[in-house]
């Protein structure tokens, strides 16, 4: 007799055999017992969790010769035929290879005929989401008004691809991924029946490889038995599946939590020696720290963690050795490293540096502790000597270019007087620039701000601009220069001659332009503000308590605030 793979040999034959899907078996069993059987069902869920098996069990329950029952006999001709997959009135259709509208039309024509010898005709369409839109439309009318003898069971891993018009006509059952502990229990039953010697640890590794799929776990178990024979060693399972030993992962986690760089790096050296993938190792280390975080927020994680009892106890001990913030910080950094390892040219070095950083990070402090320290700081400042108030310093006087005094003519025989003091600055170089801007010539004003005032002796002004600069070319333009002469004559109330020269600031000392003067003033002010802020006792205390670093200082008195 040919060998039968474990996934087929131990395929569920009753609703009670559906491991991890008890909610589905109970609902369908109650529907059959009460006679409230819908005409269309949608089974959704990941691969290998029992969707097609449940569909066959349901078909046997409806057509069993012992009568409508939630527990089919599995011995009558109808049950045996359905178990073997050749039931005369049960049609299993692959939606991936029968996607066209013609296939559905043929199915629709077949529905009209009564079953050959069973109570119902059942149409099981696997991967139904692969049908085309036209095929779904052809099926829609039949689902809306089906004959009494026809039942539909649709199975899919991607329900979001099914049109809502089809979904609304089906009873939906969501099949869950099966927990590792449940898979291990089922695997133990199977290996005992097969007389295979294997440890619970090895079965846990096999169950984890299944990722919630019983079929995948059984296929992996088949592979392990073929490799190891009747006696399965844990080391052989690790070598065959290419998985990282949990001991290495726990040792690394212990090194991180205990801030023991040597232990963490030694575990990584063993990972390299055994030839494991560094990215796979980092990925499984992420799962370890996820477990530590969950154990900090949920004392009894239940199905949140797929771990055995011994491993759970060890993880709880690790979780208790550090705070939630530290576990979250390690988890975040490991997730970032796992993504970077995909393109890293030095994966071992990248992972080593991450482990070193994790083992040398300063201890995290919870918010309550920091708030308590702040309150203590406030009490000390309130009860002790008040902190010196940093008063804003007087503004530094800005040096202005020399100002020419325009003589004022008086009556004959009377000595001319100089204008009032407040009017003198208004007739200086900055005043001329503002006057040009006020006369809606912003382009000329922008050029003047970049110019150096080389000489100010009315009726002559000498300006300098960098040699070869765009501003120099613009100001030497006849139209710009004529406009500037008119505006200067209007401002100084006399004809003014303006001479524009090319300068080389790297070779000759020239006065700063208005832009340079303003920039220097702002830089000096920022420097003084930073010094005052860093010298403030409150700022110093906050930096000491929180280990903070001043990144930016903003003046709050700008704009009159």
Compute the distance between CA of residue 538 and CA of residue 382 in angstroms, rounded to an integer. Answer: 12
Mean pLDDT of 411-437: 59
Q: What is the CATH number of the domain that holds 119?
A: 3.40.50.300
pLDDT band at 430 (very low <50, low <70, confident <90, very high): confident
The verdict on 156 and 301 lying in the same domain is no
Helix (H, G, I), strand (E, B) or coil at 277: coil
Domain boundary among 338, 360, 382: 360
Compute the distance between CA of residue 216 and CA of residue 8 in angstroms, rounded to an integer. Answer: 12
The verdict on 222 and 263 lying in the same domain is no
256 or 366, which is more confident?
256
Indicate whether 408 belongs to any domain: no
Q: What is the CATH number of the domain that holds 215?
A: 1.10.8
The verdict on 272 and 341 lying in the same domain is yes
201 or 307, which is more confident?
201
pLDDT band at 557 (very low <50, low <70, confident <90, very high): low
The verdict on 327 and 217 lying in the same domain is no
The verdict on 233 and 269 lying in the same domain is no
pLDDT of residue 140: 86
R_g over Cα of the chain: 42
Residues 6+ apart with CB under 8 A from 90: 56, 59, 63, 81, 82, 118, 121, 122, 124
Compute the distance between CA of residue 498 and CA of residue 297 in angstroms, rounded to an integer. Answer: 78
The verdict on 169 and 274 lying in the same domain is no
Indicate whether 372 belongs to any domain: no
pTM score, whole prediction: 0.57
Helix (H, G, I), strand (E, B) or coil at 343: coil
Helix (H, G, I), strand (E, B) or coil at 462: strand
pLDDT in tens, 501-546: 888 777 777 888 888 888 787 777 777 877 777 777 777 777 766 6
Mean pLDDT of 10-21: 89
The verdict on 230 and 142 lying in the same domain is no
Q: What is the CATH number of the domain that holds 274?
A: 1.20.272.10
Mean pLDDT of 208-237: 89
Indicate whether 415 belongs to any domain: no
pLDDT band at 332 (very low <50, low <70, confident <90, very high): very high
Structural domains in the chain (count): 5
Contact call for residues 303 and 183 (beta carbons, < 8 A): no
pLDDT band at 421 (very low <50, low <70, confident <90, very high): very low
Mean pLDDT of 296-321: 80
225 has pLDDT over 80:
yes
pLDDT of residue 220: 92
Indicate whether 413 belongs to any domain: no
The angle at the Cα of 523, spanning 517 to 525, to the nearest 5 degrees, equals 105
Contact call for residues 294 and 315 (beta carbons, < 8 A): no
pLDDT band at 3 (very low <50, low <70, confident <90, very high): confident
Q: What is the CATH number of the domain that holds 478?
A: 3.30.300.180
How far, CA to CA in Å, does 27 sit from each of 41, 167, 172, 173?
12, 19, 11, 9
Indicate whether 251 belongs to any domain: yes
pLDDT band at 266 (very low <50, low <70, confident <90, very high): very high
The verdict on 22 and 71 lying in the same domain is yes
The verdict on 282 and 205 lying in the same domain is no
Residue 86 has phi, psi (to 5 degrees) of -130, 40
Indicate whether 288 belongs to any domain: yes
pLDDT in tens, 135-146: 888 888 888 888
Domain boundary among 472, 492, 511: 511
The verdict on 51 and 116 lying in the same domain is yes
Mean pLDDT of 484-492: 85
Indicate whether 381 belongs to any domain: no
Domain boundaries, position 298: 246-360
Indicate whether 375 belongs to any domain: no
The verdict on 45 and 139 lying in the same domain is yes
The verdict on 54 and 153 lying in the same domain is yes
């Amino acid at each position: 007799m040919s060998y039968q793979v474990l996934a087929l040999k131990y395929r569920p034959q009753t609703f009670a055999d559906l491991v991890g899907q008890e909610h589905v078996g109970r609902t369908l069993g109650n529907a059959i017992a009460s006679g409230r059987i819908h005409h269309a069902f949608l089974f959704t869920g990941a691969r290998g969790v029992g969707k097609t098996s449940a569909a066959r069990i349901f078909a046997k329950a409806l057509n069993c010769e012992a009568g409508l029952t939630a527990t089919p006999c599995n011995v009558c001709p109808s049950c045996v035929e359905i178990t073997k997959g050749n039931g005369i009135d049960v049609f299993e259709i692959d939606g991936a290879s029968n996607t066209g509208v013609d296939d559905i039309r043929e199915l629709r024509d077949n529905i009209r005929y009564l079953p050959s010898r069973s109570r119902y005709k059942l149409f099981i369409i696997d991967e139904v989401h692969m049908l085309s839109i036209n095929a779904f439309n052809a099926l829609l009318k039949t689902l809306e008004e089906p004959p009494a003898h026809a039942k539909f069971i649709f199975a899919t891993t991607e329900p979001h691809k099914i049109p809502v018009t089809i979904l609304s006509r089906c009873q939906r059952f969501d099949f869950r991924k099966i927990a590792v502990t449940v898979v291990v229990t089922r695997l133990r039953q199977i290996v005992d029946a097969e007389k295979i010697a294997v440890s619970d640890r090895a079965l846990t590794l096999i169950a984890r490889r299944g990722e919630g799929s019983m079929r995948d776990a059984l296929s992996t178990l088949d592979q392990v038995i073929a490799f190891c024979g009747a006696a399965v060693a844990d080391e052989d399972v690790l070598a065959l599946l290419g998985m990282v030993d949990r001991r290495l992962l726990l040792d690394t986690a212990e090194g991180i939590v205990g801030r023991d760089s040597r232990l963490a790096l030694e575990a990584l050296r063993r990972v390299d020696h055994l030839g494991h993938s560094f990215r796979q190792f980092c990925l499984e280390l992420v799962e370890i720290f996820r477990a530590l975080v969950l154990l900090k927020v949920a004392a009894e994680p239940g199905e949140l963690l797929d771990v055995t009892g011994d491993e759970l106890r060890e993880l709880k001990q690790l979780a208790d050795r550090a705070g939630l913030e530290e576990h979250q910080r390690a988890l975040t950094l490991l997730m970032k490293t796992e993504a970077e390892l995909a393109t890293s040219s030095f994966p071992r070095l990248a992972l080593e540096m991450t482990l070193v950083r994790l083992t040398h990070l300063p201890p995290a402090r919870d918010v309550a502790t920091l708030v308590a320290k702040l309150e203590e700081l406030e009490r000390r400042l309130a009860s002790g000597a008040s902190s010196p108030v940093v008063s804003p310093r007087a503004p530094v006087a800005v040096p202005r270019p020399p100002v020419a005094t325009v003589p004022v003519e008086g009556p004959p025989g009377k000595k001319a007087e100089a204008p009032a003091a407040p009017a003198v600055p208004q007739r200086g170089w900055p005043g001329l620039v503002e006057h040009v801007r006020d006369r809606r010539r912003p382009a000329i004003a922008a050029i003047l701000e970049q110019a150096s005032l080389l000489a100010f002796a009315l009726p002559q002004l000498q300006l300098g601009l960098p040699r070869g600069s765009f501003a120099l070319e613009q100001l030497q333009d006849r139209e710009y220069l004529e406009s500037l002469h008119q505006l200067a004559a209007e401002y100084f109330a006399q004809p003014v001659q303006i001479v524009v020269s090319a300068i080389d600031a790297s070779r000759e000392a020239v006065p700063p332009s208005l832009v340079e003067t303003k920039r220097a003033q702002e830089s000096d002010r920022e420097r003084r503000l930073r010094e005052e802020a860093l010298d403030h006792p409150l700022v110093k205390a906050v930096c000491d308590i929180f280990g903070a670093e001043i990144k930016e200082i903003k003046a709050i008195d700008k704009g009159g605030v």
